[in-house]
């Protein structure tokens, strides 16, 4: 599919903070999210941290499957929703 954006990710390689990982709905269930996460791990090989909404069981399961662990509770600074802080160590 030439010219189709399947997804994108934003990560700060200095801090290891993964701000967004987005996959187009037509690619859900494919390996796009895993490939984007692998790119994050290459950019920030020591650690990655992220916030995930507590009610997003699908995302939490995905991150756990890819080596992330719970690192505490937090509040999203924008939405003010309760979130889990998750962390991966390389």
Q: pLDDT per residue over 25-57, tens digit each? A: 999 889 999 999 999 999 999 999 999 999 999
Total Cβ atoms within 10 A of residue 49: 18
**Average pLDDT over all residues of the chain:** 94
37 class by beta-carbon count within 10 Å (0-12 exposed, 13-18 middle, 19+ buried): buried
Cα 51 off chain centre by:
8
Q: Note the pLDDT of residue 3.
A: 83
Q: Where are the beta strands (DSSP E) in the chain?
A: 7-12, 17-23, 47-53, 69-75, 82-89
What integer is the mean pLDDT of 73-85? 93
Contact 50, 67 (CB under 8 A): no
pTM (predicted TM-score): 0.89
């Amino acid at each position: 599919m030439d010219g189709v954006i399947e997804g994108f990710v934003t990560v700060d390689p200095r801090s290891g903070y993964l701000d967004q990982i987005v996959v187009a709905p037509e690619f859900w269930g494919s390996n796009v999210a895993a490939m984007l996460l692998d790119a994050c791990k290459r950019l920030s090989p020591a650690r990655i941290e992220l916030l995930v909404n507590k009610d997003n069981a699908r995302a939490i399961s995905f991150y756990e499957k890819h080596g992330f662990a719970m690192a505490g509770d937090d509040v999203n600074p924008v939405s003010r929703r309760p979130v889990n802080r998750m962390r991966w160590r390389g």
